[in-house]
Amino acid sequence: MIDRFESERTLTDEMPMPQFPRTFGREGYARKFYSGSIVRRKSDLQLVSVTRLRIRAWRFSLPFFYYSVISAWQARNAPGNLSVTLLKDTRMTFWTRTIWTDEGAMKAFMTSGNHRRAMPKLLEFCDEASVGRWTQDDGILPAWDEIHRRMQMEGRPSKVNHPSDDHRAYKIAAPKVGRLSQAWLK
């Protein structure tokens, strides 16, 4: 048997193998493998923040991808972040779903680092952009159809320099969620 340092211990070293559905814990939270939802064991509210961005031309896809990746990793490591999910939709449209402990943590992330540098670039990169935010206490990640519904009801358009007709009318197509279209970073 190989000796490991205390910091190298895994969760399975500390507890027996759980029954189906298998879960793993981190900071008091558990993710169900079969559904991808996060279940909170704490009872306080959490903030859900959602963005939808549509790239207006292929020439912006590489810089958009670069800023998206570095911003997503910044969010993943930001204090107060509980979850980061990215969704690749159709027609060069991308969605983000982040869960935060409070609005202060989300605003601190939004106004610092790579995300702050990326936000002004979206004015040129995108022809459609919208954001939505709400609090919830049930601890389950909202599904993409729920996110779409709430984005239409409670969300708002973001400023873009070259708005499409759909952006002007605030028409948001429902996201198409495929088996490989999502990336969970946390």
140-180 tens-digit pLDDT? 899 999 999 999 999 999 999 999 999 999 999 999 999 89
My answer on whether 30 and 88 are in the same domain is no
Q: Please tell me the distance from the alpha carbon of residue 185 to that of residue 111, in angstroms, as a whole number.
A: 20
pLDDT at 48 over 80: yes
My answer on whether 83 and 174 are in the same domain is yes
31 confidence band (pLDDT: 50, 70, 90): very low
pLDDT at 6 over 70: no
Q: Say if 49 falls within a structural domain.
A: yes
Q: Which residue has the higher pLDDT, 114 or 34?
A: 114
pLDDT at 30 over 60: no
My answer on whether 31 and 82 are in the same domain is no
Helix (H, G, I), strand (E, B) or coil at 100: strand
CATH of the domain at 166: 3.30.70.100
C-alpha separations of 179 from 47, 54, 127 in Å: 26, 20, 27
| Domains of the chain: total | 2
Alpha-helix runs per DSSP H in 91-140? 103-110, 113-118, 122-125
My answer on whether 113 and 172 are in the same domain is yes
Structure confidence at residue 179 (pLDDT):
85
Q: What percent of the chain lies above the pLDDT cut of 70?
A: 77
Least confident segment among 29-38, 52-61, 109-118, 163-172: 29-38
My answer on whether 91 and 137 are in the same domain is yes
C-alpha separations of 101 from 13, 24, 30, 59, 134 in Å: 29, 20, 15, 36, 12
Least confident segment among 29-33, 88-92, 114-118, 124-128: 29-33
Q: Say if 57 falls within a structural domain.
A: yes
Helix (H, G, I), strand (E, B) or coil at 60: helix
Whether pTM exceeds 0.85: no
The pLDDT of 35-62, averaged and rounded, is 80
| Full domain range(s) for residue 33 | 6-39
Structure confidence at residue 34 (pLDDT):
34
My answer on whether 89 and 162 are in the same domain is yes
